[in-house]
């Protein structure tokens, strides 16, 4: 068994694809409309789905926004240098909500950015 993907619901698919591809550097791997169900699925990641887990962006055509709730935590990405990644993300128009630094009660260097729908993405320095 292996993890295939994490699904998140997004209000503006175009804006979300732009964030994950242009700001975080992922690739749009595939996208498909389901007109009868009035939704679109788009899969983004750093490599082929056959080689690693990806993110499924689900856009329900009749829903403009979602409440995030308090059950979902975040998506985590490994980066070589969290501070440099934050600077690059800001330069690409991304929103850093916690600058790079040691995690509370630990020494691992982390940072957090936020996608257009408010989902948190943690950057963990290798």
Write out pLDDT tens, residues 14-52: 999 999 999 999 999 999 999 999 999 999 999 999 999
Which of 51, 56, 88, 122 is the catalytic position?
Answer: 122
Helix/strand/coil percent split, the chain, to 5: 15, 40, 40
- Every domain range in the chain assigned CATH 3.10.180.10: 5-60, 75-125
CATH number of 75-125: 3.10.180.10
Query: How many other CB atoms sit within 10 Å of the CB of residue 26?
Result: 19
CATH number of 5-60: 3.10.180.10
The pLDDT score that the predictor gives to residue 64 is 92
pLDDT at 123 over 90: yes
The pLDDT score that the predictor gives to residue 71 is 84
DSSP secondary structure code for residue 103 in this structure: P
* pLDDT, tens digit (0-9, with 9 covering 90-100), for 66-112: 998 888 999 999 999 999 999 999 999 999 999 999 999 999 999 99
How far are the Cα atoms of 3, 42, 78 from residue 52, in angstroms, in the given order? 8, 16, 13
Cβ atoms of 45 and 27 within 8 Å: the answer is yes
Active site residue 122: yes
The pLDDT score that the predictor gives to residue 70 is 82
Which one is predicted more confidently, 1 or 116?
Answer: 116
Q: Shortest CA distance to 60 belongs to which of 117, 119, 122?
A: 117
Cβ atoms of 117 and 16 within 8 Å: the answer is yes
Cβ atoms of 81 and 72 within 8 Å: the answer is no
């Amino acid at each position: 068994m292996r993890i295939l993907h994490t699904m998140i619901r997004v209000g503006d698919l175009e804006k979300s694809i732009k964030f994950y591809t242009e700001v975080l550097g992922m690739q749009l791997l595939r996208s498909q409309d389901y007109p009868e169900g009035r939704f679109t699925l788009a899969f983004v990641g750093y490599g082929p789905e056959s080689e690693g887990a990806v993110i499924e962006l689900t856009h329900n055509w009749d829903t403009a926004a979602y409440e995030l709730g308090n059950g979902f935590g975040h998506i985590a990405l490994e980066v070589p240098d969290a501070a440099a990644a934050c600077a690059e993300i800001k330069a690409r128009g991304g929103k850093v909500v916690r600058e790079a630094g040691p995690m509370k009660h630990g020494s691992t260097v982390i940072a957090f950015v936020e996608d257009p729908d408010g989902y948190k993405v943690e950057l963990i320095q290798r």
